[in-house]
Amino acid sequence: MHIICPIIAYQRLTPTFIAHMIDLEVSEKQPRARKPEWLRVKLPIGEEYRKVRHLVDTYNLHTICQSGNCPNMGECWGAGTATFMILGNVCTRSCSFCAVKTGRPNEYDTDEPRRVAEAIALMGVKHAVITSVNRDELKDRGAEIWYQTIVKIKELSPDTTIETLIPDVKANWEALERMVSAGQEVVSHNMETVPRLYRLVRPQARYERSLEQIQRTKDYGKRTKSGIMVGLGETQDEMLQAMDDLRAHGCDVLTIGQYLQPTPMHLAVAEFVHPDTFAWYKEEGNKRGFAFVESGPLVRSSYHAERHL
């Protein structure tokens, strides 16, 4: 069974801008810490990897695997899976943890839903996950392209189940309803970090607003999901409180993974969290009643997403 598994991606925030916002003194470049042994990943090689790359190139598609510097790209592409990122590859946000380009996006491509759906049909996937950049400049936040993409996938691959990893709609609840009403089975929106670190990690987002988005998605009758990165300076107590907040707002599935600095211009890793701690987080999440908790150093938002359905 092939699965398309995306990892959420946002844009980088330069250290100079971070310092201006939160009165921190930061260097122009953040040094990368040495990775421990448990974070070693395979290089992207093999026939299946080449097939996926050819498919992406042929259909002129974007993948979060490439744009987000995903550490699991070798594993996923080598297994014949990929991540499709719709609405272009330039994000209007400037989150400090992600390698996707930031800036003013080009006009969106109205033919993209067809191409994504055809690629999924050719791959024969049983469970697909679609994500996107933020398109804050659009009145509908890109909701219509989201809707048409899911409808087209269902038309060409009626037996394929779908997870949509959607961005923050900035309280445009009409756009949210359009995004989640196309027939997908799971709707994910990542919190990314604990509230104390939001101004540093997600300066254009709001913790409470993202919680409300998850609650509203649950109220629409969808299976809900979110992801948090660790290693950014959060405490374990803050993580447990974030879990409680998510459960209180109707979140069904939680993923927890290690933050990895994509370039020296992004936030430095504060800590490489030990696998035993990830196992403990999983236990704590299960105690709180999540339907599923995926927790590990290399876990990303939709890693092994078929389990979450």
What pLDDT sits at residue 27? 36
Write the pLDDT tens digit of every residue in 235-276: 999 999 999 999 999 999 999 999 999 888 899 999 999 999
Count the neighbouring beta carbons within 10 Å of the beta carbon of residue 195. Answer: 17
What whole-number percentage of the chain has pLDDT above 70?
A: 74
What pLDDT sits at residue 280? 98
3-state percent breakdown (helix, strand, coil) of the chain, nearest 5 = 40, 15, 50
CA dist 73 and 56 (Å) reads 13
Q: Judge whether residue 1 has pLDDT over 70.
A: no
Count the neighbouring beta carbons within 10 Å of the beta carbon of residue 178. Answer: 18
Element (H, E) at 186: strand 186-188
Of residues 306 and 129, more confidently modeled:
129
SS3 (DSSP) at 279:
helix
Q: Which domain range does residue 54 map to?
A: 3-308
What's the token pair of residue 8?
Answer: 């959420």
CA dihedral sign, ordered 49, 50, 54, 55: negative
What pLDDT sits at residue 18? 40
| Average pLDDT score over the chain | 82
Q: Judge whether residue 179 has pLDDT over 50.
A: yes
CA dist 63 and 132 (Å) reads 9
CA dist 216 and 146 (Å) reads 17
Round the CA-based radius of gyration of the chain to a whole number and report it.
18
SS3 (DSSP) at 16:
helix
SS3 (DSSP) at 100:
strand
Q: How many residues does the chain have?
A: 309
Residue 171 vs residues 8, 94, 168, 249, 307: alpha-carbon distances, Å = 19, 18, 8, 15, 30
Domains in the chain, number: 1
Give the model's confidence band at 85: pLDDT under 50 very low, under 70 low, under 90 confident, else very high: confident
SS3 (DSSP) at 254:
strand
Residues 6+ apart with CB under 8 A from 50: none
Write the pLDDT tens digit of every residue in 101-151: 899 998 899 999 999 999 888 877 788 889 999 999 999 999 999 999 999
Instruction: Name the nearest CA neighbour of 248 among 195, 287, 198, 212.
Output: 212
Q: Which of 10-14, 75-79, 207-211, 300-304 is predicted most confidently?
A: 207-211
CATH of the domain at 38: 3.20.20.70
What pLDDT sits at residue 205? 97
Write the pLDDT tens digit of every residue in 149-170: 999 999 999 999 899 999 999 9
CA dist 28 and 23 (Å) reads 15
Strand partners, 163: 129, 186
